[in-house]
Structure 1
């Protein structure tokens, strides 16, 4: 576990732009899932924590990988 934490810290320090990209895409997917569950924005804000707890991590991670792959592909073609 210690080695994983150290590796993660080094990656965050050395690849800040990549981290920012992953973070932005993760937040985008998270918000899309929350908004898909409920149309009422006030309820989304009120129940954000509970809705987040119910989300399937594996599904979210797969979606994130698709988003990152697409984003990187588009960046290469610019």
Structure 2
């Protein structure tokens, strides 16, 4: 799940033929302008930017380890150092 800086879960959408995550608090908080005061009307976050950041963070956390498909007939193989 992807969350906005305001703490709301973002939802998927498409804009200019690209997938985006959006935060649109006004849509379901009518009558509560104080709830997200100062929040932009809509926040767009490109999916490819999210995926790049997740991949970089995962590689960093794995410390150089990568997960490769297990060889045929070896379902218990472990990730190997790259």
TM-score in same-fold range (> 0.5): no
Of the two, which has the highest radius of gyration? 2
Q: Which protein, 1 or 2, shows the higher relative CO under an 8 Å CA cutoff with sep ≥ 6?
A: 1
State the TM-score, normalized to the length of structure 2: 0.30
Higher strand share: 2
Give the TM-score taking structure 1 as reference length.
Answer: 0.31
The structure whose residues are more often helix, as a share, is 1
